A and B are shown apart, each in its own frame.
Chain A
Amino acid sequence: MYSFLPAVAEQLFKDIQKTYQETSQIPDDLLLALKFVFGSCALQALDLVDQRSVTCVSSPSGRKAFQVMGGSGRLYTCFMSCHFCPCPAFAHTVLRRNEGPLCKHILAVYLCQAMGVTQQESVSDQQMSMLLSGTEIL
């Protein structure tokens, strides 16, 4: 997904990954940088990380996707290779107003991946197809 990010954000996640691997912490300067690059979205995403809300779902075919548990308890399915989230903020802020590259759910995915705290879950191929197509919410 890195190709969808500005270079500064890409570098920031690499720095977080390196530092977190060494110290199991994100230092204040990187937290400030997160807030600077992503605005209020950063704090909300860090909340989701603290609650271990991001799960990498995989099926026997090898297909994978991320599921993020939102604050309201709803599950949002995000893709492995490009930015999409079915949440209202992504539709409004990212797609309609073009005010940023991602929502708090996708940012939480990046952070969990960088910190190595993504939960893992297996589903059947048919369940994966339903998650990807969004038919489970129709």
Chain B
Amino acid sequence: MADILTHVFRTFMSKTFTNNNLRVTPPSQTTCGGTLLIGEPSISRPLLLLAAVAAAETGMKVIFFTQTQIQSLPVSLQKCVPSLSPESLKKIKFCYPCRVEDLLQQVASLHESINLYPTPPSLIIIDRLESYLCSPGGSSTWGFYPGEQSLAAHLSALLCDTAAFLTQLLKQRSSSSGPCRLITSFRSEVDTRQTVGKGPTTDPILEVLDRYFQVRCTLDRDGSYEAAAAGLQEVWHVYFSGAGITQTSCNKDTEDSPSIDQEWKLLIFPDGLMEFKLV
């Protein structure tokens, strides 16, 4: 499911960007498993919107869950996709559940409306999963057992199971349809980097999410002087990791499992333009 993100990265690759190349490299039809986008919301949110728009431009129907109202597309997106068609945007349905209970109910009831539309959604996006897990009520009692871990597991399992159900449905309706993909952004409250003389600190919620999301895409800000020297506003390192990537890499010689480039750089220019470079 990292294929949507790599599709975005390739589409907005440095020097190769043109207005029409959103349709050049459609995402693969065979990958499965969810992708967890780890990093600052200031960068993960525009990336999720880019992914939604890129998917919609290829004809995919997208459901985008977020707590924050989207009044307009970010400047970076408007600059990156100046020829964005309103028809494509209509393929994206924005949903604004306020509480985790609302999110669970809305995801759980997606199957109820599938017969009302000719095409089921083939991309589910959750913006800032941590905002739901850490909201009031999210950290107290859940199910029959207290704890955020149980809630994170329930929400992740429901999302994965819903994507699996929609994948089955898409294949029943058209044998050439790809799987229903799932991308969730998450910002860890715990600094998981290894410190001198100590092992890496673990985030118990992230450990649970890693059980369900096969691919992790980490966004790490480059704090070196190079960004400023190159006249850039920000530089971010983008890494793919996880079982889904390992399995894809093992099978990368086969036609059905295209390899995923594991490391990228995201360059953000002062005017908001975003470009990706393969490392």
Contact = CB atoms under 8 A, between A and B. Distances in A.
A88 interface: yes
B115 A61 contact: yes
A80 B150 contact: no
B200 interface: no
B164 A133 contact: no
A137 B151 CA distance: 13
A55 to B, nearest CB: 17
Interface centre among B104, B143, B169, B204 (most CB of A within 10 A): B143
Interface residues of B, number: 33
A84 interface: yes
A84 B104 contact: no
A14 interface: no
Given A125-B112, A129-B109, A96 B149 contact: yes
Interface string B121-137: 00000000000000000
Contact of B154 (A59, A96, A129, A134): A134
B104 A135 contact: yes
A87 B144 contact: yes
A5 B124 CA distance: 25
Interface of A: 59, 61-63, 65, 74, 79-84, 86-88, 90-92, 95-96, 98, 125-126, 128-130, 132-135, 137-138
Interface of B: 101, 104-105, 107-109, 111-112, 114-115, 142-145, 147, 149-150, 153-154, 156-158, 160-161, 164-165, 168-169, 204, 207-208, 211-212
Given A98-B207, A125-B111, 5 more contacts: A65-B161, A79-B160, A81-B164, A132-B161, A134-B104
